[in-house]
Amino acid sequence: MKALRHALAGVYDIEAPLGRGGMSLVYLARERRLDRRVALKVLAPELAVNDAHRRLFLSEARTIARLTHPNIVPIFTVDEVGSFVFFAMAYVPGETLSQHVATVGPLEATAAGRFICDVGEALDYAHARGVVHRDVKPDNILLDAIAGRALLSDFGIAHYSREPWGNGQLGRPAAPRGPVVGTAEFMSPEQARGDAVDGRSDIYSLGVVAYYALSGRLPFYAKSEEALLRLHISAAPPPLHSVAPRVPPRLAQIIDRCLAKEPWERFPDAAALVQAVTEAVGAPPTPLAVRAFLVRSTHLEGPALIHAAFTGFGLLPATVAAWSTPGAGVARGVATCALAGALALPLIVEVARVRRLLAAGHRRDELVAALAARQGRRREELAFVYGTGETSFERSLTWLARAALLVAACAVGVIATALPVPDAVAALFPPIAAGAAAVALLASAVARGRTEQRSDPVGERSLRFWRGPIGRALFRLAGLRLPRVVPIVTVLDHLETPA
């Protein structure tokens, strides 16, 4: 580690070791130029002298660079410094799935459904681009503590084919027959035999991971890797409900199907698995960052109202008065700057909030989807409590408001036309007009309040705002100069294509 720190001095500051794989070591580091934390994956020095190991290590970098997906840990750069070969990846704050299960215990059905969908979507994306992971296991699934999602990592033994697999292309092998590679506890039967495998092999491995995450135990145990592989090939695993009876039956059946011995008995692709899990446990819960954004929006409603009142009734009249007063040059400048700052403050606050949401890896469509789902539930709840149509009480208030408004208009008309009436009678018209107007205003406000109870106008306005052009523009503005994950091509283009 001292030699690595010295070799990368000036570019990366090595902070701490994160883990060790079969061929590499992973360190937490800070990239000086962009002042961000990254995970450095370094080929073990004793292997870096071997050309075959170097090609295999660099092929992993090339494979990851082809994949840009929210649930795949992205790569930033690949480099060689002295005897060290490494690439820098995004640092995911949190823990691996295996660490979480070991410390907290088995996952609840909804949490398990969330991680299965996240990893399933990542696999579906990779399979469509000809990449079979071949090492899906809890140690390679990272749980992001900030964004609340699962990310797939470590494509060290992944196979890349120019022929994509998926979308009904059953039976097309993505990885040819060859030596047995992978982790014995999570290997599919065909992978354990060294047969040709496709994306359905990853589905089997994900099924084993889900079995472990929901029950806290693996479907097979053996004293040696050879015995464990034989069990994967020929033995039937205990049904999930027999070892984890609290798992919903439909979800348990889905996991059991993933563990079928024959590939054609499993789900045809990862997208079908994600759809089945979503239907079994409900839509995946809204990510933590999006939920926090919505909570913060609610908490800001009060301060926003105070800010609007202060700007509209304080700063704006003061600015108009300053510009209307001759010779008040300093006052004009101060008032104008204060008004400009007050008008810009909401924009600055919203851009900062959206920027934080984007930095957590979430897009505008996720926020809009969460708002739409919340408003859908809100409409159902309000319809159950207050009904869907106008009540007789609200209709009575509406007619009362109209009648009072008519009386007020007539009284004002009499006063305006100066009709010849006795003074005692004429003195009654001003209070009649004022009273009728007050009744109309009060009845209208009560009727509108009852109507708004059924419609949640604040939530509806929020949904329209973020769905509309202003919300779209805010996300574009917030995304300016925000570091984005892009596939690296300049370095990798010179690397040899793996066999």
The first and second tokens of residue 497, run together, are: 């294509």
Place of tokens 């292309």: 169
Instruction: Judge whether 68 lies within some domain.
Output: yes
Checking if the pLDDT of 164 tops 50, the result is yes
In this structure, are residues 386 and 454 in contact, taking their beta carbons and an 8 Å threshold?
yes
Please report which confidence band the pLDDT of residue 188 belongs to, taking 50, 70 and 90 as the band edges.
Answer: very high
Checking if the pLDDT of 386 tops 70, the result is no
Please report which confidence band the pLDDT of residue 304 belongs to, taking 50, 70 and 90 as the band edges.
Answer: confident
Q: What is the mean pLDDT of the chain?
A: 83
Cα distances (Å, whole numbers) of residue 442 to 310, 429, 446: 26, 20, 6
Residues 139, 16, single domain; the answer is no
Residues 366, 470, single domain; the answer is yes
Last-in-domain residue among 255, 281, 307: 281
- Give phi and psi for 398, each to the nearest 5: -65, -45
Instruction: Judge whether 62 lies within some domain.
Output: yes
Residues 337, 426, single domain; the answer is no
pLDDT in tens, 50-68: 888 888 888 878 888 888 8
Checking if the pLDDT of 428 tops 70, the result is yes
- Confidence at residue 184, expressed as pLDDT on a 0 to 100 scale: 92
* Mean pLDDT value of segment 258-285: 89
**Which of 235-249, 380-394, 396-410 bottoms out in mean pLDDT, i.e. has the lowest?**
380-394
pLDDT over 90 for what percent of the chain?
Answer: 28
Domain that holds residue 36: 2-91
Checking if the pLDDT of 174 tops 70, the result is no
pLDDT in tens, 1-27: 678 888 888 889 999 888 877 678 899
Checking if the pLDDT of 487 tops 50, the result is no
Instruction: Residue 29: give its domain's CATH number.
Output: 3.30.200.20
Last-in-domain residue among 281, 297, 325: 281
Instruction: Judge whether 497 lies within some domain.
Output: no
Residues 305, 373, single domain; the answer is yes
- Confidence at residue 490, expressed as pLDDT on a 0 to 100 scale: 35
Whole-angstrom distance, CA of residue 15 vs CA of residue 13: 6
Q: What's at 467, amino acid-wise?
A: R
The number of domains in the chain is 4
Instruction: Judge whether 486 lies within some domain.
Output: no
Q: Which residues pair with 319 in a beta bridge?
A: none
Checking if the pLDDT of 145 tops 60, the result is yes
Residues 423, 311, single domain; the answer is no
Residues in the chain: 499
- Confidence at residue 127, expressed as pLDDT on a 0 to 100 scale: 92
Report CA dihedral (374, 379, 385, 387) to the nearest 10 degrees: 180
Instruction: Judge whether 493 lies within some domain.
Output: no
Residues 200, 256, single domain; the answer is yes
Whole-angstrom distance, CA of residue 362 vs CA of residue 71: 11
Whole-angstrom distance, CA of residue 97 vs CA of residue 240: 19
Please report which confidence band the pLDDT of residue 419 belongs to, taking 50, 70 and 90 as the band edges.
Answer: low
Residues 126, 64, single domain; the answer is no
Kindly tell me the sign of the dihedral angle through the C-alpha atoms of 104, 110, 116, 121: negative
Residues 171, 292, single domain; the answer is no
Please report which confidence band the pLDDT of residue 215 belongs to, taking 50, 70 and 90 as the band edges.
Answer: very high
Residues 133, 277, single domain; the answer is yes
Q: What's at 393, amino acid-wise?
A: F
- Confidence at residue 339, expressed as pLDDT on a 0 to 100 scale: 86
- Confidence at residue 311, expressed as pLDDT on a 0 to 100 scale: 86
Q: Is the pTM of this model over 0.75?
A: no
Instruction: Judge whether 21 lies within some domain.
Output: yes
Please report which confidence band the pLDDT of residue 482 belongs to, taking 50, 70 and 90 as the band edges.
Answer: low
- Confidence at residue 57, expressed as pLDDT on a 0 to 100 scale: 83
Answer yes or no: 456 catalytic: no
The burial class, CB within 10 Å (0-12 / 13-18 / 19+), for 353 is middle
**Which of 80-89, 189-198, 387-396 bottoms out in mean pLDDT, i.e. has the lowest?**
387-396
- Closest listed residue to residue 138, CA positions, set 98, 108, 187: 98
- Select which of 118, 135, 202, 256 is catalytic: 135
Residues 356, 336, single domain; the answer is yes
The first and second tokens of residue 440, run together, are: 């109309």
Instruction: Judge whether 302 lies within some domain.
Output: yes
- Confidence at residue 492, expressed as pLDDT on a 0 to 100 scale: 38
Instruction: Residue 232: give its domain's CATH number.
Output: 1.10.510.10
Count CB neighbours of 63 within 10 A.
Answer: 23
- Confidence at residue 499, expressed as pLDDT on a 0 to 100 scale: 35
Separation of first and last alpha carbons in the chain: 32
pLDDT in tens, 430-466: 788 788 888 888 888 777 766 656 667 788 888 889 9
Checking if the pLDDT of 117 tops 90, the result is yes
pLDDT in tens, 280-303: 887 556 777 888 888 877 777 778
pLDDT in tens, 353-375: 898 888 887 888 888 878 877 77
Whole-angstrom distance, CA of residue 410 vs CA of residue 304: 40
Please report which confidence band the pLDDT of residue 495 belongs to, taking 50, 70 and 90 as the band edges.
Answer: very low
**Which of 44-48, 176-180, 293-297, 305-309 bottoms out in mean pLDDT, i.e. has the lowest?**
176-180
Instruction: Judge whether 485 lies within some domain.
Output: no
Checking if the pLDDT of 329 tops 80, the result is no
The first and second tokens of residue 137, run together, are: 């296991």
Residues 98, 81, single domain; the answer is no
Residues 114, 197, single domain; the answer is yes
Q: Which residues pair with 145 in a beta bridge?
A: none
Please report which confidence band the pLDDT of residue 267 belongs to, taking 50, 70 and 90 as the band edges.
Answer: very high
Last-in-domain residue among 91, 123, 156: 91
- Confidence at residue 216, expressed as pLDDT on a 0 to 100 scale: 94
